[in-house]
Amino acid sequence: MPVVINLTSALHGGTSPSCGTGDHSSCGPNCACGCPYTGMVERGKVEPITLIEQRYPRQWLALVIPPGEDEERPERAMLVAYSSDPDEVWDAVARITFNQVVHVYYNGPLDDFLNQFADEA
């Protein structure tokens, strides 16, 4: 199973049992609801992206970027899913709460990436 952390409950990094329930339309970098977006750093769920990439070469990765990181070029993130199958990772990403900043990419050589799609043609 490629899902590392289920992002629809407080178990994934939120700091409040109510996280993931009810209407959290105000969730985001400055919210106080205890959602994973604000709780992942304090709960130790964030690590350097370089370490994640070393552990999962030639895998599709889904990373949630914590508040305060550069959203375009982050250095730290929380790994939420990985797989050699991009569809599995995208299925996992579809379950991520709306306020998350997510990066999904293939962590391998460009030729490997292109060959994945050449097989489908």
How confident is the prediction along the chain (121 residues), in pLDDT tens digits per residue?
465 665 544 444 455 555 555 555 555 555 555 555 666 777 778 999 999 999 999 999 999 888 888 989 999 999 988 999 999 998 888 777 666 788 999 999 888 888 877 766 5
Q: How is residue 8 written in tokens?
A: 């629809």
Q: What is the 3-state secondary structure (H, E, C) of 64-90?
A: EECCCCCCCCCCEEEEEEEECCHHHHH
DSSP secondary structure letters along 27-71: -STT--S--HHHHTTTTT--EEHHHHHHHSTTEEEEEEEPTTS-S
Side chain identity at residue 94, one-letter code: A
